[in-house]
Chain A
Amino acid sequence: MLAYIIRRLFSTLVVMTVVAFVVFSLLYLTPGDPAAVIAGDAATTDDIARIRANLGLDEPFLVRFGTWAWGLLHGDLGTSIFTKLAVTHLIAQRVEPTVALTLCTLLVAVAVAVPLGVIAAAKAGTWIDRGVMAFSVLGFSVPVFVLAYILILTFSIELDWLPVQGYHNLSDGVWEWLRHLILPSLALGTVYMALIARITRATMLDVLSQDYVRTAQAKGLAPSSVLIGHALKNAAVPIMTIVGIGIALLISGAIVTETVFAIPGIGRLTVDAILRRDYPIIQGVILIFSAAYVLVNLAVDLSYMFFDPRIRY
């Protein structure tokens, strides 16, 4: 088992190296002169030269990658072209809202979607099942920001129940903090819920057709304990997998959600960086988000041992 964990850690390391290499190489692979693009149309040759030096484009590729990767290993993500502040500092300032938003969404989505999927599978073929499937297809089709505006127009502007935009720190009071997270979490969580509900239903249908489920039913166990104790427990691994993979949806969606709801998180930092073409920030954000994504999925992989005692590596 230890050997498996070490092997898995090693492959995570390989993936992260590739991510770093890809993110770094984009600067060299894109057509045209990225320094000129970043500098914009009104730039002087001095500006372009300064940006080229900041990005290290005047050094040979491998030398530059070496310096950059060395800095990365020491927690240095470079400096912003526009504000001249360290990227790590800029990101650290913005971490709280993004973590609050994604965690809140994750909890709500799993708490809603898994029961939905289980009920749909238990009542397969009925209108409940069709309703859940319809919600799932719809959830995949409505983009995050369209849903976000529909929610704001309904619950904030028409009904005046919840704040339109903004973010409150947790330290300023739990209620205010939560109130500002309800709509963003709903908007961000819907596509994620759709995905989890769909996979939960599919896996549950698979498990429910197994012999041991029939045995449990034949023993006269209560339907609910068969459903939860026997079926859901055995469906946990695929569900966990999709919860982990779906984090990518949350990360992409968080950027848009923060823009719509004016939440000062990492997503908002990214969008501001795009407008100023501040590539070091974008580079840093991608690395941080990808690392988070890879680590969450590593944790999910390792959690299989807990959810399914049969899995022993």
Chain B
Amino acid sequence: MSTLALPAARSTSPTWLRLRNALRRHPTAIVGAAVLGIMILVALFAPWLGTIDPQAVAPLRRLKPPSAEYWFGSDMLGRDVYSRVIYGARVSLAVGIAVALFSTFVGLAIGLVTGYIRWVDAIVMRIMDGLMSIPSVLLAIALMALTRASIGNVILAITLAEVPRVVRLVRSLVLTLREQPYVEAAVAAGTTLPRILTRHILPNTVAPLLVQATYVCASAMITEAILSFIGAGTPPNIPSWGNIMAEARSLFQIAGYLILFPGICLSLTVLAINLLGDGMRDALDPRLARRM
């Protein structure tokens, strides 16, 4: 009588399977992933990529245009722009990835609770509405004006500005999920709230959050560059793409390359992340995929 065997458990989860299929359909996402991968490798192996000390000044070799010796030229203090741009990748990527991680986790925690507990929802969402009414760059500027410039504070400031958007997303997901029959069944079976949240709700938020995290990462990298560019970001003694461009602000008419190289690197990395995000969204959210 025991011939009614269940199909063998699939070794790959449907999410990963969908992701793989969609990446095949979206070659641009693969290009994005490749470029991002290269950028991360460049950031990790910066000291071994023909770079010199990015802070080493050489007053006699100021503002040299790109040449065999200075691939990306030298800046107004004679520092090697190539080395500065390569090391700058570390700051931009670290800020982007850290903000994506932190705001996802904080937003997830707040969103899960607000989506499920009504009275918390009313209060927290009013605060989130308020925070979202402040353009994120401005909120980050305010925080940076009140704290000492450091990469940690930049990450903190941008995270605070990004969290409300993640909370909104998680909350809307939770509001839909809690009406699902399997959640109602779990409630009826007497499952405790923490268990419902972690076991039934949380796994279903992973896919959209993954997509959101890529957009947060891209937007955080741009915000970091904007903050550094207007002098409210990464401290000037750390080379970041925004800082290199900020220092070139008054020199761009005679040394456009000072803006061009970090600008291209930043745009390229953000583009790669956006392409990857678009591909993942198409893969993980088939409903949206047809439209966007």
Contact = CB atoms under 8 A, between A and B. Distances in A.
Interface of A: 14-19, 21-23, 26-27, 30-32, 34, 37-38, 137-138, 140-146, 149-150, 152-153, 157, 164, 198, 202, 205-206, 248-249, 251-252, 255-256, 259-260, 270-271, 273-275, 277, 279, 282-283, 285-286, 289-290, 293-294
Nearest to A256: B226
Interface stretch (B36-44, B75-83, B129-137, B169-177): B129-137
A138 B245 CA distance: 20
Contacts of A259: 229-230, 249
A282 B145 contact: yes
B222 interface: yes
Given A143-B263, A146-B245, A149-B263, A19 B130 contact: yes
A290 B135 contact: yes
Interface in B189-227: 218, 222, 225-226
Interface string B268-281: 10110011001000
Q: Looking at chain B's contact residues, is the secondary structure mostly helix, strand, loop, or mixed? A: helix
B148 A32 contact: yes
Nearest to A250: B135
B160 to A, nearest CB: 9
Given A15-B130, A149-B256, A251 B135 contact: yes
Contact of B142 (A26, A149, A252): A26
Given A38-B145, A206-B291, A256-B226, 20 more contacts: A14-B129, A15-B130, A21-B130, A22-B130, A37-B146, A137-B275, A140-B270, A142-B271, A143-B226, A143-B270, A144-B226, A145-B225, A145-B226, A205-B291, A252-B135, A252-B226, A274-B141, A274-B231, A283-B142, A286-B139
Nearest to B134: A290
Contacts, number: 156
Contacts of A14: 126, 129
B141 A141 contact: no
Given A140-B274, A157-B253, A256-B230, A18 B127 contact: yes
9 contacts: A30-B147, A145-B245, A205-B291, A255-B138, A259-B249, A270-B230, A274-B145, A283-B142, A293-B133
Interface residues of B, number: 48
Given A137-B275, A146-B263, A286-B139, A256 B229 contact: yes
B145 A279 contact: yes
A200 to B, nearest CB: 12
Given A15-B130, A37-B148, A274-B141, A141 B270 contact: yes
B232 interface: yes
A271 B142 contact: no
Contact of B267 (A17, A34, A38, A143): A143
B232 A274 contact: yes
A38 B146 contact: yes
Given A137-B274, A282-B142, A145 B130 contact: no
B106 to A, nearest CB: 15
Contacts of B290: 205
Interface in B134-164: 134-139, 141-148
A152 B254 CA distance: 12
A21 B123 CA distance: 14
Counting chain A CB atoms within 10 Å of each CB, the highest count among B230, B245, B259, B270 belongs to B230
A202 B275 contact: no
B231 A137 contact: no
B146 A279 contact: yes
Interface string B244-261: 010001001100100110
B292 interface: yes
Contacts of B145: 38, 273-274, 277, 279, 282
A64 to B, nearest CB: 15
Given A137-B271, A271-B231, A289-B138, A31 B147 contact: yes
Nearest to B271: A141
Contacts of B143: 26, 30
Contacts of B231: 271, 274-275
Interface in B112-137: 126-127, 129-131, 133-137
B135 A248 contact: yes
A15 B129 contact: yes
Nearest to B270: A141
A289 B135 contact: yes
A22 B259 contact: no
B138 A32 contact: no
Contacts of A145: 225-226, 229, 245, 263
B157 to A, nearest CB: 10
A199 B253 CA distance: 37
Nearest to B291: A202
A34 B274 contact: no
B259 A255 contact: no
Nearest to A191: B222
B134 A19 contact: yes
Contacts of B144: 274
Nearest to A145: B229
A289 B137 CA distance: 12
B229 A37 contact: no
Nearest to B230: A271
